[in-house]
Amino acid sequence: MEYLEMVLYWLLCAFGIAIFLTFWSNFIEQKPYKPYIKTLIIVSWISLTTFINSLGIPTLNLCFGIGGNIIICLILYDATIKSRLFYATLASIIAMGVDIISEILWTIITNKHSLENVQTNEYNIFFLFFLTKLCTYIILRIIVHFKGKSTRNIDNRTFIAFMTFPISSGVILFGIGNSNILATSQNLNKIILLIGGVFLLFSNLWINYWVQRYMNILNEQKKTELSNLKTSMQEYHYRQLETINEEHSHLLHNYNKHIRVIGSLVKTGNAQEIEKVINDLNIEMSEINKIQYCNNSILNAILCERKSKAEELNIEYEVNVNPNITLQKFSDFDIISITSNLLDNAIEASSKCNEKKFIKVNISMSNNYRFLVIQVINSYAKKLRKENGHYITTKTNPQNHGIGIKNIEKTAKKYSGIVTIEPTDNKFSISVFLSIN
């Protein structure tokens, strides 16, 4: 059993260092060591930590706990000394705080029970160690979720669901450690329980690794889809520019003919025919100029593509884009998501109107260029229903709809923005305010 205890202590130290490495890796970059060198450094450090802890000198353990973490962080990670000192000290203080609090709580709990109910021995203490390491992992994982580099990979709802496993593991470890199961079990059963506790402990790290890896893969797929979408939008934009160039060429080719016709009509004094030719020429030029709404190729492509859809449905389509709008602070994916959802909803709602169908898009800056404002006003046939402060879709299968508005609100919140809705009996207005800062 002494050999088993040595292995357990080594594994506990390994788990503690593993959660520190995972924590640090989410804030600072690792140095480009070769894998075998990095493994050698970590294994050596785990073994040294196990030996120091086995001496049973509290002061030495305390000094080595903080100092050792700082040294290993300085060796393995590449960042400013200030950053490495901060994160190494933070992780050490959290770990020691959890150890102290757990020991105090363990003492209070065991003193409240008679020895007939709880027989504390070295094997129960192992489960206390398991529990304290797991609590440290949970706290560090929460910090990583809200402040680490991967904070946007997992949403809060998914993170809460994910954290049920380490919390459940903690309850199991506490239940075993705070009972007399180990004291009354045979050696084989003790060994099985201790090994099970170790596997339960490390399975949390293992699951965390694969969840994070899966979310990173999804994130990369999202970036690829965005890249493809941007390429598609840009190709559409360039095709529109080619159309403009062709129409300009056609207009210039016929320009001399128009002038000659006007000259002939002037000689005959036919003012009405002259006015008709000039009006036709102005309309043709106006239609060409309307295709270029703004200088941003992605946004312009969306506005132009939805213009074609609106015209197919006999919807009057008007766009006003302030030439001084600032889009550099926003990702292309978010601009595509907001604008596409707004226009798709507007086109669908306007297409169901029996009377005048129209869509007006206004994109501008407000509050001294602190906010980007995207406003869409469209005709609307049905009266909206409102429940709990939110507008409810009037579609026949509402469970499959409303996602567009939710996506808009979620994206606006990402940029500290808001969404305002102002409906009337036959007009629907929605405005999205996005903070530049």
Residues 251-269, mean pLDDT to the nearest whole number: 60
Q: Is 3's pLDDT higher than 90?
A: no
In the chain, where the domains are located: 2-226, 293-437
Query: Which pTM value belongs to this model?
Result: 0.57
Distance of alpha carbon 336 from alpha carbon 342, whole angstroms: 10
Burial bucket for residue 335 (CB in 10 Å: 0-12, 13-18, 19+):
buried
Q: What are 85's two structure tokens?
A: 């000192």
Q: What is the pLDDT of residue 289?
A: 47
Q: Look at residue 115 in the predicted model and tell me its pLDDT.
A: 38
Amino acid at 365: M
What confidence tens digit (pLDDT) does each residue in 265-294 have? 666 666 666 666 666 655 554 454 446 788
d(CA 141, CA 151) in angstroms, rounded, equals: 11
Residues 25, 34: Cα–Cα separation, whole Å: 16
Three-class HEC string of the chain = CHHHHHHHHHHHHHHHHHHHHHHHHCCCEECCCCHHHHHHHHHHHHHHHHHHHHCCCHHHHHHHHHHHHHHHHHHHEECCHHHHHHHHHHHHHHHHHHHHHHHHHHHHHHHCCCCCCCCCCHHHHHHHHHHHHHHHHHHHHHHHHHHCCCCCCCCHHHHHHHHHHHHHHHHHHHHHHCCCHHHHCCHHHHHHHHHHHHHHHHHHHHHHHHHHHHHHHHHHHHHHHHHHHHHHHHHHHHHHHHHHHHHHHHHHHHHHHHHHHHHHHHHHCCHHHHHHHHHHHHHHHHHHHCCCCCCCHHHHHHHHHHHHHHHHCCCEEEEEECCCCCCCCCCHHHHHHHHHHHHHHHHHHHHCCCCCCEEEEEEEEECCCCEEEEEEEEECCCCCEEECCEEECCCCCHHHCCHHHHHHHHHHHHCCCEEEEEECCCEEEEEEEEECC
- Closest to 175 measured CA to CA, from 137, 135, 118, 99: 118
Q: Are strands 316-321 and 358-366 parallel, antiparallel or unpaired?
A: parallel
Mean pLDDT computed over every residue of the chain: 79
Residue 363 pLDDT exceeds 90: yes
pLDDT digits (tens, 9 = 90+) for 134-171: 999 999 999 988 886 654 567 778 888 888 999 999 88
Residue closest to 326 by CA, chosen among 337, 335, 316 = 335
What is the architecture, at CATH level 2, of domain 293-437? 2-Layer Sandwich (3.30)
**pLDDT at position 20:** 93
Supply the pLDDT for residue 94: 92
Percent pLDDT > 90 in the chain is: 21
53-103, pLDDT tens digit by residue?
888 788 888 888 888 889 999 999 988 999 999 999 999 999 989 888 887
